[in-house]
Amino acid sequence: MFISIDPEPIPETLTAMGGVPLLVRVFGSLGLPARVREQVEVKQRERGLDEAEMVESFVVLNAMGGECFDDFLRLGEGAGLKEMLGHEVPWPDAARTFLYPFHEEEKMVVAKQGREQGQIAYIPAENAALAGVGRVNHDLVKELGRRCPDQRIATVDQNATIIESSNRCICLAC
């Protein structure tokens, strides 16, 4: 048996991130891009990715096992993911800058000062950016309830891993 090998590369764009198209399609079909654009206003300039594209990028980063901002570099290496998303993957600095409005140091100080004596943990009050994400999440749960009216049980899986760090960090789970 003779096997013929075509030396010309195939014209399709390939990626090892084959699960991403389904995730992106679900993100869109649930109306999340529109809800994020309506509820989350943190960007100060019109250039670059909008809020919905940034949130979608963080969802993809999380789904692909990303653990830090520099993992956006790995996601952006191939043209395939960009084609699936329909937009660029943010640079680490752009992703970090996007998250700044979700953190207000003053609210952290107030919450820390409001602890009872001997209490270690504290939860700062929500700011406008976080409240917007909360509204998007609320709308997502409502939409899932609308689509699955007979479903009565939901499992919320929270990652409660605490990892010591000497760097100032921004919570990606917020």
pLDDT for the residue 29? 93
pLDDT for the residue 150? 87
Query: Which candidate, 165, 144, 174, 155, places its Cα nearest to that of 40?
Result: 174
The structural domains of the chain, with segments of one domain joined by +, span: 20-147
pLDDT for the residue 159? 63
Contacts of 63 (CB under 8 A, 6+ apart): 19, 20, 23
Q: What one-character-per-residue DSSP string does 112-173 give?
A: HHTSPTT-----PPP-HHHHHHHHHHHHHHHHHHHH-TT---------------SS----TT
Q: Which residues of the chain register pLDDT less than 70? A: 1, 10, 12-16, 156-174
Read off the DSSP letter of residue 47: S
Question: Both tokens of residue 146?
Answer: 């609308």
Q: What's the whole-model pTM score?
A: 0.76
